[in-house]
């Protein structure tokens, strides 16, 4: 059965939780063991981005049960979770909320789940409305004449709360409320090897890259807990996102990704940013990743072309292409080479195609190192090669869709102009 949610949070629906030890099996066994006719609360707590919400969703899915996600916030009103009246063309209609719907689903299907993210962010009043569900297995809808919704003796309703314990600025749970949750498992960062496995599986990156990133993330986490010189935590979520981006994006943007995905995201002050950058430098983070990605891309290149592309061959292609570019510039001048914004002009590309096709095709073949042919195939359904040679359609596509990258390649990566 499809899970429903009242939350706007986007969580990749297809991702499944990968258990660190046996926490998933344990929770499943616990849910199986409890008797019917009860509403049980489980409080998952731990640092951000460790998969708590995902674990809760995966549990519900493993029962093929419906689940309702509530995002805890101080604005959350009792009526949001129980149900509210809506005025419709002069008529009124009652919209049942997730608590009521979950009881109905549990009664019909034997089990259902309510997942409450950041449960400690909800106000006391709303905590109270959950209290009665947890201990008396029913709720009375105040706004609907105390209409009673009760869990039947054959069903189970599981309330999975998630929270970041120890994070500053968040409310504590009311003691009576917390007490009603039968267990409180801590979901912490996985062990190193497990985290590498999670990152590799979810981001699709290479094992070695995951290893490098996880290693540095752990070092930054250590620093964060030791001397508090870094306040935000390097979560598994962040590692996954970073690894996914660097594997999918051209290598030329590695530095941008390190800055934007790691340093600017984790560092709130210039000092923090400096500390993070220093740890990364100390670990030779960028160059290690660059080496790995370069290795991987040249392997792909060899595989795609069935020829061995060595560094000497790359230099050879660059030298030849540079000569052609120089000829063009001598003939037509720099004004006819680059636009005012620094981007290469199409007429240069066209001239290369008309006068130095073979050399230029070899040069453009180097873009295979940057995932561009893959993107081209995804977007157009076409192959970038015809009879083993680069096509004009591909070159035109790069020019139209990736002009910035193309200019960067021409000016900086494999400099020819
Ligand atoms: N054990 C894991 N299995 C699968 N994915 C994981 C795991 N740990 C972390 N992730 C990654 O972290 C992302 C975020 O997970 P999730 O939203 O469940 O974390 P959370 O602990 O609920 O975070 P928050 O405390 O910020 O709400 C996942 O989409 C996934 O990419
Ligand atoms: Mg969460």
Distance 160 CA to ligand 1 centre (A): 15
Number of residues assigned to the chain: 417
Segments making up each domain of the chain, as ranges: 4-183, 192-293, 309-413
Measure the CA–CA gap between 179 and 163, rounded to whole angstroms: 15
Distance 145 CA to ligand 2 centre (A): 34
**DSSP code, position 344:** B
Residue 266: is it exposed, middle or buried by C-beta count within 10 angstroms (0-12/13-18/19+)? buried
Of 18, 54, 198, 200, best ligand 1 pocket probe by most atoms within 8 Å of the beta carbon: 54
Q: How confident is the model at residue 123 (pLDDT cuts 50, 70, 90)?
A: confident
Distance 15 CA to ligand 1 centre (A): 10
How crowded is residue 108: how many other Cβ atoms within 10 Å of its Cβ?
12
* Ligand 1 atom closest to Cα of residue 19: 1
Which residues have a Cβ under 8 Å from the Cβ of 406 and sit 6 or more positions away?
344, 367, 398, 399
pLDDT at 212 over 90: yes
Mean pLDDT for the stretch of residues 16-24: 92
Measure the CA–CA gap between 70 and 372, rounded to whole angstroms: 40
Could you confirm whether domain 4-183 is CATH 3.40.630.30? no
Distance 54 CA to ligand 1 centre (A): 6
pLDDT at 6: 43
Query: Who wins on pLDDT, 230 or 54?
Result: 54
Distance 275 CA to ligand 2 centre (A): 27
Token duo for residue 226:
């030791």
Helix axis angle for 270-282 and 207-226, nearest 10°, is 130
pLDDT at 4 over 90: no
Mean pLDDT for the stretch of residues 204-216: 95
Task: Give the count of alpha carbons within 13 A of 402, CB side only.
Answer: 23
**Nearest CA owner, ligand 1 atom 16:** 51
Span 387-415, pLDDT tens digits: 889 999 999 999 999 999 899 899 988 88
C-alpha 283: how far from its chain's center?
24
> What does the CA dihedral 306, 303, 359, 357 come to, rounded to 10 degrees?
90
Query: Who wins on pLDDT, 403 or 132?
Result: 403
Buried b (16+ CB within 10 A) or exposed e, 198-211: bbbebbebbebbbb
Q: Which of 183, 159, 160 is nearest to 38 (CA)?
A: 159
Span 245-292, pLDDT tens digits: 998 887 878 999 999 999 999 999 999 999 999 999 999 999 999 988
pLDDT at 311: 66
Classify 337 as helix, strand or coil: coil
pLDDT at 310: 65
Q: How confident is the model at residue 27 (pLDDT cuts 50, 70, 90)?
A: very high
Measure the CA–CA gap between 186 and 27, rounded to whole angstroms: 12
Distance 51 CA to ligand 1 centre (A): 3
* Ligand 1 atom closest to Cα of residue 18: 3
Span 149-198, pLDDT tens digits: 999 999 999 999 999 875 544 567 888 888 889 899 999 999 999 999 99
**DSSP code, position 334:** G
Of 8, 13, 50, best ligand 1 pocket probe by most atoms within 8 Å of the beta carbon: 50
pLDDT at 359 over 50: yes
**Nearest CA owner, ligand 1 atom 7:** 51
Instruction: Supply the Cα-derived Rg of the chain in whole angstroms.
Output: 28
pLDDT at 301 over 70: no
Of 16, 22, 42, 237, best ligand 1 pocket probe by most atoms within 8 Å of the beta carbon: 237
Span 85-103, pLDDT tens digits: 888 888 888 999 999 999 9
Distance 358 CA to ligand 1 centre (A): 49
Measure the CA–CA gap between 360 and 344, rounded to whole angstroms: 15
How crowded is residue 280: how many other Cβ atoms within 10 Å of its Cβ?
18
pLDDT at 361: 95
Token duo for residue 325:
């570019």
* Ligand 1 atom closest to Cα of residue 236: 9
pLDDT at 12 over 50: no
Token duo for residue 45:
């707590």
Measure the CA–CA gap between 217 and 240, rounded to whole angstroms: 11
Query: Who wins on pLDDT, 64 or 294?
Result: 64
Measure the CA–CA gap between 184 and 171, rounded to whole angstroms: 17
pLDDT at 130: 86
Lining residues, ligand 1, CB within 6 Å: 11-12, 15, 17-18, 20, 48-54, 117, 162, 164, 198, 202, 236-237, 240
283 φ, ψ (degrees, to nearest 5): -95, 5
**Nearest CA owner, ligand 1 atom 15:** 51
Among all bound ligands, the one having the nearest atom to the CA of 49 is: 1
**DSSP code, position 181:** E
* Ligand 1 atom closest to Cα of residue 48: 25
**Nearest CA owner, ligand 1 atom 26:** 48
pLDDT at 300 over 60: no
Among all bound ligands, the one having the nearest atom to the CA of 166 is: 1
pLDDT at 2 over 80: no
Sequential DSSP letters for 260-320: IIIIHHH-SSHHHHHHHHHHHHHTTHHHHHHHHHHHHHHHHHHHHHSS---HHHHHHHHHH
In angstroms, the Cα distances linking 177 to 24, 99, 123, 128 are 24, 16, 11, 7
Token duo for residue 112:
């259902």
pLDDT at 189: 92
Distance 337 CA to ligand 1 centre (A): 48
pLDDT at 54 over 60: yes
**Nearest CA owner, ligand 1 atom 11:** 237
Classify 178 as helix, strand or coil: helix
Among all bound ligands, the one having the nearest atom to the CA of 56 is: 1
pLDDT at 315 over 60: yes
Mean pLDDT for the stretch of residues 24-36: 94
Asked whether the whole model's pTM tops 0.75, one would answer: no
Of 51, 162, 210, best ligand 1 pocket probe by most atoms within 8 Å of the beta carbon: 51
Contact 70, 76 (CB under 8 A): yes
Q: Do β-strands 385-386 and 389-390 pair in parallel, antiparallel, or remain unpaired?
A: antiparallel
Distance 284 CA to ligand 2 centre (A): 32
**DSSP code, position 191:** P
Compute the mean pLDDT over every residue in the chain, rounded to the nearest whole number: 87
Distance 9 CA to ligand 2 centre (A): 9
How crowded is residue 366: how many other Cβ atoms within 10 Å of its Cβ?
21
In angstroms, the Cα distances linking 316 to 257, 363, 414 are 30, 10, 11
Distance 49 CA to ligand 2 centre (A): 7
Residue 216: is it exposed, middle or buried by C-beta count within 10 angstroms (0-12/13-18/19+)? buried
């Amino acid at each position: 059965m499809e899970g429903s949610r009242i939350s706007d949070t986007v969580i990749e629906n297809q991702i499944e939780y990968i258990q660190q030890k046996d926490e998933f099996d344990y929770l499943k066994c616990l849910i199986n063991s409890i008797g019917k006719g009860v509403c049980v609360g489980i409080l998952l707590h731990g640092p951000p981005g460790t998969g708590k919400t995902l674990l809760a969703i995966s549990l519900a899915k493993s029962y093929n049960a419906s689940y309702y996600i509530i995002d805890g916030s101080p604005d959350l009103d009792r009526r949001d979770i129980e149900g509210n009246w809506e005025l419709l063309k002069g008529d009124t209609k009652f919209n049942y909320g997730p608590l009521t719907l979950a009881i109905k689903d549990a009664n019909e299907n034997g089990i259902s789940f309510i997942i409450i993210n950041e449960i400690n962010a909800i106000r006391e009043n709303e905590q109270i409305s959950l209290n009665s569900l947890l201990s008396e297995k029913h709720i009375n809808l105040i706004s609907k004449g105390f209409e009673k919704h009760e869990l039947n003796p054959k069903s189970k309703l599981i309330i999975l709360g998630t929270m970041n314990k120890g994070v500053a600025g968040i409310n504590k749970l009311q003691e009576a409320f917390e007490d009603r949750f039968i267990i409180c498992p801590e979901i912490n960062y996985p062990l190193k090897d497990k985290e590498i496995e999670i990152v590799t599986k979810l981001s699709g990156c290479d094992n070695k890259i995951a290893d490098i990133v996880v290693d540095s993330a752990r070092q930054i986490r250590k620093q964060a807990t030791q001397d508090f010189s870094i306040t935000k935590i390097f979560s598994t979520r962040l590692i996954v996102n970073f690894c996914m981006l660097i594997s999918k994006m051209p290598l030329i943007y590695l530095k941008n990704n390190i800055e934007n995905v790691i340093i600017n995201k984790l560092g709130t002050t210039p000092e923090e940013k400096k500390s993070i950058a220093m740890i990364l430098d100390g670990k030779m983070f960028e160059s290690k990743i660059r080496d790995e990605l370069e290795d991987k891309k040249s392997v792909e290149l060899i595989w795609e072309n069935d020829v061995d592309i060595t560094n000497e061959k790359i230099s050879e292609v660059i030298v030849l292409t540079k000569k052609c570019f120089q000829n063009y510039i001598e003939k037509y001048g720099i004004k006819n080479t680059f636009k005012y914004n620094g981007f290469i002009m199409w007429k240069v590309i066209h001239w290369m195609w008309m006068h130095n096709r073979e050399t230029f095709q070899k040069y453009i073949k180097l873009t295979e190192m940057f995932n561009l042919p893959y993107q081209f195939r995804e977007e157009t359904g076409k192959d970038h090669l015809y009879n083993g040679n680069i096509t004009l359609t591909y070159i035109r596509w790069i020019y139209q869709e990736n002009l910035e990258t193309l200019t960067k390649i021409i000016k900086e990566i494999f400099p020819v102009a």
